[in-house]
Amino acid sequence: MKGYRKYFTKKIVWFLITLFVAMVLNFVLPRLMPSDPVAAITGKMAGQTTDTAAVQEIYSRFEEEFGTNKPMIVQFLIFLRNLFKGDLGTSFSQYPRKVSDIISSSIGWTLALQIPAIIVGWIIGNVLGAVAAYKKKGWDKIVMPVTMFISNIPAFGSAVILLYLFAVKWKVAPVAGGYAFDMIPNFSWAFVKSVIEHYQLPFWSIVLISIGGQAIGMRSMSIYELNADYVKYSRFLGIRDGKIVGYVFRNAMLPQVTGLAMSIGGSVSGALVAEIIFSYPGIGSTMYAAVTAADYPLISACTLIITIMVLIATLSLDIIYGFIDPRVKAAQFDA
């Protein structure tokens, strides 16, 4: 148990440090802009609206929130304080809506879409990779190159292709949105059905994105494990091949949990872009709208939320991994 505690403490400390660095970056990067950042940021936005009175109001309000007239460290403390209060500022493009309000209405969609999709993609990818490693002949020669090619189609690419095929050509799925545009969210059966229909394409396109990388990783891992000495040894003790394959896949699969933790940042960015293609009402689309409207507070909040989501996902995976792989415990005793 001592080993575990050390491992988890280490992981949690890392999480906090990284979170802090992420916040600092989120704070510092826009302030590194040459000239007056408030003028630059609001200037971008001002180019898109003609209501000068509104621009003026936004400008003064933002100046106050951004706090450029105070020393950097005070600005940072204000930033942190607001952050912990859940105050992420006021949106430019949807003025005077609060950013935290916009984020909270889209984060649920993103979580409900991405978590299941990434997990399903991970499972399918691992099974395919394991099978490809074991049944070398046909699978390896045909399925693997195809999987490899598919995994090289960028996330937005497979999303667009799915959209074209299913929504435009065959018309079996809706083109855009999280639910039919003429509906108001409620818990009626019609609405749930609409949500499920709209869920399919984004879901499967994210699954597709995650499969390729995982399958390839799992295949190399499995091939490595299949050549491990314990395989030969177990065979020479008369253990059935089926059982040995079980050992191999368990051992290959466990590090894939860490693999997922390492790659989750990449998968999430791909998945966010896929959201844009389907105009899915999640963080990805919100961020796209924010960039298009030069809505700085919203962009900043989106990047921060994405980072926090990724950090939490990574931490959870690390903790799960610590429990399921005895190698982690042993490594802690060695250290």
Partner 1 sequence: MSNTLKNLLHSPKFMVGFILFIAILLTILIYPLFNPGNPLEMIGVGTFAKPGTYISLYDATSSQKETLKIANAEEKRIAAALSDEDRVKMLEWLSAYGVDVTEVDASNTDAILELWMANYNPDASIKGFTKSETRNFRLIQNRITELMSADTLIIYEEGAEDSKSKIVKTDYVNLNAIANVKTLPLGTDNFGRDVLKELVSAAGTSIIIGLIAGSVATVIGLTLGLLAGYLGGNADEIIMFITTVFTVIPGFVLLILISYSLGQDQRGPTIVAIVIGCTSWTWTARSVRSQVISLRNRDHVNLSKLSGHSLGRIILTDILPYIASYVVMAFILQVSSGILSEAQLSLLGLGPKTTTTPTLGLMMNWAMLYSAHTNGSWWAYFPVILTIACISFSLNLMNTGMDQVFNPALRD
Partner 2 sequence: MGKVMLEVKNLKTKYITRFGEDVYSVDGVSLKIEEGKSLGVAGESGCGKSTLALSMMGYYFPPLHYISGDIIIDGQNISGMDPDKVRTTVLGSEIAYIPQAAMNALNPTMKIIRFLEDVIHAHEPKATKAEIRERAEERFADLGLGKEVLDRHAVELSGGMKQRTVIAVSTILSPKVLIADEPSSALDVTSQKMVIKMMKEMMEKGYIRSMMFITHELPLLYNVTDDIAVMYAGQFVEYGTAKEMVFDPLHPYSHGLMGSILVPEEGTRGMNLTAIPGTPPNLKRPPAGCRFAERCKYATPECFYTAPAEKMFGENSTRMYRCLMSEEALRAKYAEEGGASK
For residue 87, the surrounding DSSP H or E stretch is none
End-to-end CA distance of the chain: 15
The token pair at 277 is 């293609």
70 binds partner 2 (CB under 8 A): no
Within residues 28-87, the interface with partner 1 by CB under 8 A covers 29-30, 32-33, 40, 44
Contact 316, 9 (CB under 8 A): no
Among 89, 270, 297, 322, binds partner 1 (CB under 8 A): 270
152 binds partner 1 (CB under 8 A): yes
Backbone angles phi, psi at 90, to 5 degrees: -115, 140
Backbone angles phi, psi at 81, to 5 degrees: -60, -45
Cα–Cα distance for residue pair 177/221, rounded to 1 Å: 38
Q: What is the dihedral of CA 260, 100, 273, 94, to 10 degrees?
A: 180
105 binds partner 2 (CB under 8 A): no
311 binds partner 1 (CB under 8 A): yes
287 binds, options partner 2, partner 1, none, Cβ within 5 to 8 A by partner type: partner 1
9 binds, options partner 1, partner 2, none, Cβ within 5 to 8 A by partner type: none
Among 153, 254, 319, 320, binds partner 2 (CB under 8 A): 254
Backbone angles phi, psi at 68, to 5 degrees: -65, -20
Among 251, 256, 286, 300, binds partner 2 (CB under 8 A): 251
228 binds partner 2 (CB under 8 A): yes
Contacts of 30 (CB under 8 A, 6+ apart): 37, 41, 296, 300
Among 9, 135, 164, 185, binds partner 1 (CB under 8 A): 164
Interhelix angle 52-66/296-324, rounded to 10 degrees, is 40
Cα–Cα distance for residue pair 287/292, rounded to 1 Å: 8
5 binds partner 2 (CB under 8 A): no
Among 250, 267, 276, 303, binds partner 2 (CB under 8 A): 250
Q: C-alpha distances in angstroms, 334 versus 140, 247, 317?
A: 38, 24, 22
Q: Which residues bind partner 2 (CB under 8 A)?
A: 228-230, 232-240, 243, 247, 250-251, 254, 325-327, 329-331, 333
Q: Which residues bind partner 1 (CB under 8 A)?
A: 14, 17-18, 21-22, 25-26, 29-30, 32-33, 40, 44, 136, 140, 148-149, 152-157, 160-161, 163-164, 167-169, 175-176, 220, 223-224, 227, 262, 265-266, 268-270, 272-273, 276-277, 287-288, 291-292, 296, 299-300, 303, 306-307, 310-311, 314
